[in-house]
Amino acid sequence: MHLPQHWLRDTLGAAYVVASTGLGFVGLGLLQPFVANDYLWAAFNDSMPVVTGLLNLELTVPTDDFDLFGATYLATDPSLGVQAAYGRKIMLQQWTQLDVPITALRIMNAADVSSLITIYCWADLERRWELAFTSQRQARCVETMSTNAAVYLEAVLRNVDLPGWLAMNRASFMVHIGQPIVDS
């Protein structure tokens, strides 16, 4: 009996495919306890609704009282998740206190200040030099944002490590903002 010349290669290739598939299923079986819940902790399913409920209690202002013993935590699909109003609560309650953003600016790395996602309206607090991209944007700045310190570049630069910031941004700042101000 004569076997084809590629018999060994074909057999090893088929064995490789079978072994890879089998090991894939074994790996999924090993990972299953860890991916069974949102926390990636094995055997954490029973207390997950309680922990999530308590976390949400601390993160949000609930519309009603939180009754630790009132919820059915043995249900297979309890209602979980962060309330949609959490971001708005943080913005309206915590970020309206000026000491919070000012402290954050003062301890921020000078390199990170340049990556603040802010569209500035004015270079100075007296509103002599406008920075908006379009006249429509500048009109919107005048109408709705003149009391927002975040749209004044001077307010930010007064609260950061200015020498450190200038060491990284002097050339760009002078070309785009500084020199036009000097020329005016």
Domain count, the chain: 1
How many CA within 13 A on the CB side of residue 173? 15
**Residue 47: inside a domain:** no
Residue 50: per-residue pLDDT? 76
**Residue 53: inside a domain:** no
**Residue 89: inside a domain:** no
Structure confidence by residue, pLDDT tens digits, 94-134: 667 778 778 888 888 888 888 887 889 999 999 999 999 99
Mean pLDDT (the chain, rounded): 81
Residue whose structure tokens are 């089998």:
22
Residues 6+ apart with CB under 8 A from 110: 160, 161, 164, 165, 167, 168
Residue 24 has pLDDT above 80, yes or no: yes
Domain that holds residue 139: 97-183
Structure confidence by residue, pLDDT tens digits, 29-64: 999 888 877 777 777 766 777 777 777 777 765 555
Q: How many CB atoms lie within 10 A of CB 59?
A: 13
